Every structure is written in C-alpha cells, then in structure tokens.
Structure 1
Amino acid sequence: MVTTARDLARVSAIADYGVLDEEPPPDLRGVVQLAATLCAVSAAVINIIDDRHQHQIAAIGFEPDVCAREDSMCAAVFERGELVVVSDARTDARFATNPFVTGEIATVRLYASSPLVTPEGVPIGTLCVFGDEPGDLSLTQQEALGILATQIVDVLELSRLSRSLRVTNDRLTQVASQLGHDLRNPLSAVAGFLELAIDDPDLEKAPFAVEVLTRAESATARVMAMVSGLVDFARSEGAAPHAETVELSGVVSSVIDDLAKPLADSGARVTVSSDARLVADPSLLAVLLQNLIANAIKFTAAGGTTPHIVVGVEELDDGWRIAVDDNGPGIAPADRVRVFGRSQRAGTGAVPGLGIGLSTCQRIARAHGGGIGIDDSPSGGTRVWVALPRTRGESRG
C-alpha cells in the first residue's frame, strides 16, 4: 500500500514511463545482455518496483515475471540509491530468508544491483545481475553496472518524450492555451459578478453594489496572481516553484469563489474533509486545485448527477497527499495514464474543454518534486491525488 509521498511520486513516474502498460523499448534487452556479459553472469534483469509488485520488464537467462514486492530482493535496497554487491545472499540478513534465495522461487547466491533513478531523483527499480554460485564483482564491473543503470533511465526518458511530443507546438502557443484554459473559470466568475451588479434593480443601494464589486475585484486579483505564477512556471523550465506555507482550506475557498458560476449552474457542493498547512507555491496550487475541481464539476454534471466534490489532505511522513474526490462516472483504469497527456481527455467530446487541465496539474506536481495519479473514489466516482513531498531539510510538525 502506498504510504509516503515518495511512494506516490514513484507510482506516478512509473505510470508516465508506460513500461507496465506497453511493450518495453527493445533497447532495454540489449542493455540487460550487456550487463550480464560485462559482469560474467548468466542472468540479469531490469526490475520496476511500484507500491505492490516487482515487474521484471526485460531479462536475460530466464523469462521475466511479476512478483509481490515483499518477495523482491531489490525492494529491500533500491530506495537507498546505492550500488549493492553481495557475494553470497545466504549470509546477508537482508536476503537470507528471501524466497529467491531459499529455493522457493530461485537459488540466488551472487547478487548485485544498481538503482534506476529518474532525473527528479525518484528511484523506480534496479538493474540486477545474479548467479547461482557465490562470487564477486570487480570495481570495473561495478562501475559498468552503474553506467548501464543510468543508460536504462535515459532510454526510458527518451521513450517517454517521444510519446509526449507526438504533437509539437510552438512554446508560446502552448503557454497561451494553458493560460486560456486556466483563466476561463475565474473570468467567468468576474463576468457573473459584474452581471449581477448591472442587472440588480437596486444598484443604488451602495452596500450590495460594494459587496459585488469587491468580490469581482478579488477574483481579478487572483487571476493576476495565477497569470504571474503560470508565466513564471512556463519560463522557468524546471526551476523550483516559490514554495511557502499555505493552508489548504484557504486555497480551496478562493477556488470556490472563482468557480461560483459553474457551481451555481450545476448545484455542486465542494467540501474540505480535512485541512493542513503544507508547503507549496500558492498560485500554482490554486491553479492545480481549480483544474481538478472544475473537471469534477463538469464531468459529474455531464453524467446527470449533482456534483459533490470532497477535498482532503493526508499528512505523510515525508509530505502530504491531497485528494479530490467526486461522485461522477469515473475514469476507466485503461485511461488513467493517457488523460495526463496534452490535448487528451476522458469521456467524449460532449463535454467542452481543451484537454490540457490534467497535463498542467501533472507539470505543477512534478515541479514540486511530487506526482499525481487517479484512483477510484470512495463515493463511486474519480479520485485524483497529488503528492507533495516536504522540501529538503524541513521537519514534520
């Protein structure tokens, strides 16, 4: 079971690489063969380790398979990000009772693994070599194993980029489309507030006019903050967000104000089931939550159900997990990776939109060093979760 923000970031990274849902890049088998040859062993494998399983996506010396994470030898060491070499696994406390050592699954003796670490620093698995007899690796062989592990990540990155760049657009067009999508709801709120002020027959009553126009002014200010945050984000190309301590309930409250019109039109309710003070870029967090809540309203209402959206946050040992739950039609498991691509949308074209909201959310989550994913909601619809790790050096509490 996923229990930490680090786990969530890993699950998100693995899903984005697509290696568990598609045929792995053919280059990987060649790298595994080279690893076995250089290390003078008969068996080598690339293991991808998620929250529940170890997936052997390319192997030499045996047929790749899937096993429970608790049975995996590599799961015991890969998160440390270090090369591991064990001459005889029977004498190592980490592995002595492992089924791959005892004979229940295999009889591994020589064991060596180098972690697969994404450019964002997230370990997702290992390049592992092993043999049925005790042995050792020279320093040269150990260095080669580390280099090949890096090459595997490079292959995965290239494969991911080739999929995400199927449609190439000018950078300015991309930024403009994102801004247009993310600003539509706040501007609708401004228009709605102003329309109320214009149409009200008692406009001369100053208190009401002042209240409406003040709300319009607040919405406009939030638009400006979101524009600034998104433009800075688009220009930064990987620079860290301007993180600070924020209260989730306050961010959700401002988002609800901006979504006043779609909320009123659909009869939707948005509640915060739990609150926390977390560390994030407040403008980008507002953009992320506005996208998720607006999507939940739009798709739930389109399915003929009055939307009820619940926003919660769970504090983890190394960060936070924000969850946005709805009671809509849900997203099929087969579509839960695809919908994060640019111009990709769940459902049919009957629901208006450009299909870039979840892509924007994914970029924001990753800019914070976290991840994003989709599960079933306890209310029967969709749960979109966002993992936000603590910043380095920040303590819990």
Structure 2
Amino acid sequence: MTTLMGDESRVAQIDKYRVLVEPPRADLLALVDVAAQVAQVPMATINLITDTEQHQIATHGFDASVCSREDSMCALVLHAGAPVIVPDATQDPRFADNPFVTGVIGNVRFYATHQLVTPEGVVIGTLCVFDEVPRTLTDEQEQALVSLAARVVDLLELELRTRELKRSNEALAAFAGQVSHDLRNPLTAVSMSLKMMDEEIDGDEDLAFLLKRAIGGADRMQSLIDDLLKFARVGGELQRGPVDFAAVVRDALEDLAVPLSDATVMVGDLPTILGDAVQLRAVVQNLVANAAKFTRAGAPPHIEIDSSRTGERWRIVICDRGPGIPEDQRERVFLPLARIDEEVEGSGIGLSTCRRIIEAHGGRIGLADAPYGGTCAWFELPEG
C-alpha cells in the first residue's frame, strides 16, 4: 500500500510538470550536457519514473527513449537517499542482470545517479551519468552531481510556477475587467446625481461639505475602476510600430505638467524601438508620475531619464531622489493593488499594468537603487 501511494504521489508530481507531453526543453538539455562534462562521461540523462515506465526527458550522447520500469536501473535505487556510484555494473548484483548492462538495451559499465526530490519531498526520478567502460567519480564530481540534480528540480519548479502565475494573472485580469465594467455604470449615475445636488445647494455649508466629500470619493472610485479596466485590457494584441522614446517622454512630461511644475527633469539620449506606442507611452507616463509623487519631505522632484544598450536590448531608466523602496518590497509592488506608502494617492494598479505591457513586448521591468538615493525604475525591450 505504501508503494502504491508513493507511485500515485510521484505520478501526480510528474504530471504537474508536463514534461512527458511536451518536446525536450532546452534548459534541461543544457543541464545534462553540463552533467556529462562534469563527470567526464559520454552519456547523461534525466529520468522520470512513473508507476510503469522510465522516461528519459533529456539526454546527452544518445537518443532518449521510454522503457518499462522493470528494466530501469534507476528504479532500483530510486529511494536510496544519496548518490549511487557503481564503478562497474557487471560486478554489482543489483545491476549485473539488467538489460541496460547485459547488452539487450545497453552496455553500461560505470553508472552514477542521484535522486530528483521535489519541494514536497517526492522522489520523481534521477539525474544519471554513465559510461561503457569502468570508472568512478571524485568527491568533487559527486557533489556536483548532487547540486545539478537539485537544479533539475529548480528548473521544473520555475516553469511550473511561471505557468501558474500566468494562469492566475489571466484570471485576475478577466475578473478585474468584469467587475470594473459592472461597477462603472451605477457609479457614473451616483456621481452625476451628487454633482447635480451640489449645483442646487445654496447656503447649507455643512451639506455642501458632505457632498464634496462624497463626490471626491466617487471620483477616486471611478479612477480605480478605470485603472482596473486598463489592467485587464493591456498586454493583449500589440499594434507594433516604431516608438520614438524621446517623443514619448516629451508627451508624458507635457501631460504631467502640473505635478512636475516644480520638478527638475533631465533627459538623456533615448532610442527608437519597435513596439506598441500607446501602451509603451502608458508605461513611461506611469513611471514618471511615480517619480514625481514619491519625494523626500520638503524636496521638489528630481527625475533623470536615460537609456543604455546591452546586446540586442535597450534599457530605459527613470530615476528619482525620493525615499526609495526597500529591496524586499521591490517585487511585491508589481502585484495588483500592492502599495508601499498608503499616504500617497494611487490605486496600486500602475506598476502591475506596466509589467503586463513590458512582458507582452518580450521585455523585463524592475526597480533598483538610484545613484543619489531614491529609486530607479527600469525596463528592457528587444530592439525589434
């Protein structure tokens, strides 16, 4: 019964990673190449073992295949809990009659393997290196095999989490769009009614004060709904064309003339990149607006905008001299509705919208320390 439950857990874990139904992944192929080089052997493989079969999902030095679990060498030592190193498999009673050793399937002599253990503690397979001549591993090579096995699981987990995050973001975007749409019409009616009442009031200062507060709240809610709709809509089909970032910045600065009225803004040389001009302008305007909002007490905004090129990518950087963002918060602020300073006006949607736009363009976005204190918001985009 224990074996059955173990098999069920392992099969469930393997199914989550989806590597048995998709083409060999380049990152896993690269990793088995490294394993073979480190062990100085001609062959290496990542084996995932189900209840009935062994699947070679990435190989070096030979073609991948599927065999029955009964024929698998790795299945025999799947729960060893430590590296298994066999200098000559013909001399080891566990493997001497195995078809991978006898010549029926292969002629393995040297064999070394380490288990692949998921974060939940489930052993799903092995990272295996082998040769057709007897040999052994040094202590350093053995430790490298252990480390590389852990990296296999890291890569599987990273792809799984990326897929789950994408699905979650898509669901969140759909939800945000539906809720925003449903709220927009009744809120518009409430806001219009409040404003009409405000126009009719004459002399009642207390009532006028309450109405203005209500109107302000309705306007802020309308702004939040508009932000949610933008978040739900961006990042879809892009209307690509040349985007002159110098012109984009000029337009953004003009639109933000009021919050930037006492700001110092320095703009360097900026490139022209292929992309969606409307969506990328929204990114620049949002990042510049943030730089204008987050300032040190008593200090006017100081903003520097510049670019640099690395390989086939351009990096646009917008730096301020504000209070900065703690390093452990720099990823969280890109989540929808996440905010650092509740006293600064905003919906918490802007940075998450920027990330959706930049990632839709095949780029990256992040935050870093500014040279003179404050924060540098940056994004990278491919040239074409």
TM-score (norm 1): 0.48
TM-score (norm 2): 0.50
